[in-house]
């Protein structure tokens, strides 16, 4: 199953909004064949692995990190449960049921009715984490929201003059690009665009998928020569704004292929709830928020973040005016603090990666 999870992860970034799935066919303690779902719309992992094993699959065991699919309207691929039966598989290990209402338990039922032994729940925790985006989006119809911020050991995201490049290590930068590749959209505030003029693309040695770029800019202050505006014809770019944007600015941006989302305001800014609603409508399953601190507060205070990734660099900047990762007005009382759960700490070169979940009961712990 560990191998199945490893294989599944190779599809990261490519399978969205479908799940990452890996399949391993085992006979007499040997791996006969293995495969994974490579990209959205492509053949399913089970299908590929069984085809590779051929006649040898008869009497073998199959390891899957997700329940196999059954025939359903709207599906592109042949039902894997039928393929498993036809191949003569003896026993199937399934880490996790598929929450897709067309499948949810039916895949397992079909196998059992055909006399195949099904063992559920092996490495279920790991399987849930791997497909956390798919699980949230399938069960709620809303995007999985990750907030990623890099800061110094004294909790600053820039110096008092706004210098922020680069706080973190080269390993952290690579991690940031991997995150961009794995999320369907990336979102930043206008202040970040004005300060850093970022490209917001996924740049790694391997082939990557660029996220859809979203800039929160309630008054339409984005310059027409900003990097993201200049490349809007190549990469889908959205300006999430309000009625406060001047009409001529709106037209000028549309002319250069920037998509305009006119959304309601909340406290003089684009309402984060409206952003999430729009993302849901657009079938965007995940969004990576990269700052700045005002955007971070706006989404955090409205309880719209699922996961935070704080990268902490071994540096001290100081300065009472130097911003921290979360701005806004902040809570008055400690008892209002947002609790973080399932804390995980690891290293990224010389930096520390602090990972935590919020809203856990509403997302994937089920």
CB atoms closer than 10 angstroms to residue 137: 24
Question: Could you say which of ligand AOF, Zn ion, none residue 107 binds, taking C-beta under 5 to 8 angstroms by partner kind?
Answer: none
Q: How far is CA 294 from the centre of its chain?
A: 21
> What CA–CA distance (Å, rounded) separates 185 from 278?
12
Closest contact distance (angstroms) between CB of 20 and ligand AOF is: 8
Candidates 33-41, 76-84, 297-305, 333-341; binding stretch for Zn ion (CB under 5 A): 76-84
Sheet holding 259-262, edge to edge: 259-262, 237-241, 212-216, 185-189, 286-289, 144-152, 307-313, 351-357, 341-348
Question: Is the Cβ–Cβ distance between 325 and 314 less than 8 Å?
Answer: no
13 binds ligand AOF (CB under 6 A): no
Candidates 95-103, 226-234, 344-352, 358-366; binding stretch for ligand AOF (CB under 6 A): 95-103
160 binds ligand AOF (CB under 6 A): no
CA dihedral 51, 52, 54, 58 (to 10 degrees): -90
69 binds Zn ion (CB under 5 A): yes
Question: Could you say which of ligand AOF, Zn ion, none residue 75 binds, taking C-beta under 5 to 8 angstroms by partner kind?
Answer: ligand AOF
106 binds Zn ion (CB under 5 A): no
Question: Could you say which of Zn ion, ligand AOF, none residue 111 binds, taking C-beta under 5 to 8 angstroms by partner kind?
Answer: none
DSSP E strands, the chain? 22-27, 30-36, 61-64, 91-94, 117-120, 144-152, 185-189, 212-216, 237-241, 259-262, 265-266, 269-270, 286-289, 307-313, 341-348, 351-357
Q: 280-304: b or e for each residue (b if 16 or more CB lie within 10 Å)?
A: eeeebbbbbbbbbbbbbbbbbbeeb
Q: Which two tokens stand for residue 111?
A: 């196998």
What residues between 40 and 59 interact with ligand AOF by CB under 6 A? 44-46
* Near ligand AOF by CB under 6 A: residue from 83, 98, 290, 351: 98
Closest contact distance (angstroms) between CB of 276 and ligand AOF is: 22
* Near ligand AOF by CB under 6 A: residue from 18, 131, 201, 242: 18
CB atoms closer than 10 angstroms to residue 339: 9
Q: Rounded to the nearest 10 degrees, what angle do helices 80-87 and 106-113 cross at? A: 20
> What CA–CA distance (Å, rounded) separates 221 from 252?
12
> What CA–CA distance (Å, rounded) separates 346 from 341?
16
The partner residues of 191 in beta bridges, in order of sequence, read none
Choose, from 34, 46, 83, 132, the residue flagged as catalytic. 46
7 binds ligand AOF (CB under 6 A): no
80 binds Zn ion (CB under 5 A): yes
Question: Judged by CB, which is closer to Zn ion: 44, or 249?
Answer: 44
Question: Could you say which of Zn ion, ligand AOF, none residue 18 binds, taking C-beta under 5 to 8 angstroms by partner kind?
Answer: ligand AOF
* Near ligand AOF by CB under 6 A: residue from 7, 66, 193, 214: 66
39 catalytic per annotation: no
* Near ligand AOF by CB under 6 A: residue from 3, 10, 51, 75: 75
44 binds Zn ion (CB under 5 A): yes
Closest contact distance (angstroms) between CB of 107 and ligand AOF is: 8
Residues of this chain that interact with Zn ion (CB under 5 A) are 44, 69, 80
Catalytic positions, written as ranges: 46
């Amino acid at each position: 199953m560990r191998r199945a999870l490893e294989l599944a992860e190779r599809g990261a970034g490519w399978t969205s909004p479908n799940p990452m799935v890996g399949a391993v066919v085992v006979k007499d303690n040997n791996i006969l064949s293995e495969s994974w779902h490579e990209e959205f719309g492509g053949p399913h992992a089970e299908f590929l692995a069984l085809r590779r094993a051929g006649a040898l699959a008869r009497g073998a065991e199959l390891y899957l990190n997700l329940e196999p699919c059954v025939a359903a309207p709207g599906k592109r691929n042949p039902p894997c449960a039928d393929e498993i039966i036809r191949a003569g598989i003896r026993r199937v290990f399934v880490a996790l049921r598929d929450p897709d209402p067309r499948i949810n338990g039916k895949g397992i039922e079909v196998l059992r009715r055909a006399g195949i032994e099904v063992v559920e729940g092996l490495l279920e925790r790991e399987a849930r984490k791997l497909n956390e985006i798919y699980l949230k989006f399938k069960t709620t119809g809303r995007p999985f929201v990750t907030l990623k911020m890099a800061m110094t050991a004294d909790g600053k995201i820039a110096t008092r003059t706004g210098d922020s490049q680069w706080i973190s290590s080269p390993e952290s930068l690579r991690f940031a690009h991997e995150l961009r590749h794995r999320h369907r959209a990336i979102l930043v505030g206008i202040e970040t665009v004005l300060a850093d003029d970022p490209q917001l693309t996924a740049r790694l040695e391997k082939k990557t998928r660029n996220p859809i770029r979203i800039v929160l800019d309630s008054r339409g202050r984005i310059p027409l020569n900003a990097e993201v505006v200049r490349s809007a014809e190549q990469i889908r770019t959205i300006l999430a704004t309000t009625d406060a944007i001047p009409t001529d600015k709106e037209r000028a941006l549309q002319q250069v292929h920037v998509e305009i989302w006119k959304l309601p305001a909340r406290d003089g800014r684009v309402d984060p709830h409206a952003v999430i609603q729009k993302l849901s409508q657009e079938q965007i399953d995940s969004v990576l928020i990269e700052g700045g601190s005002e955007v971070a507060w706006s989404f955090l205070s409205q309880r719209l973040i699922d996961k935070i990734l704080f990268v902490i660099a071994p540096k001290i900047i100081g300065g009472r005016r130097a911003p921290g990762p979360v701005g806004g007005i902040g809570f008055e009382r400690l008892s209002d603090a947002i609790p973080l759960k399932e804390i995980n700490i690891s290293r990224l070169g010389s930096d520390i990666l602090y990972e935590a979940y919020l809203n856990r009961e509403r997302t994937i712990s089920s």
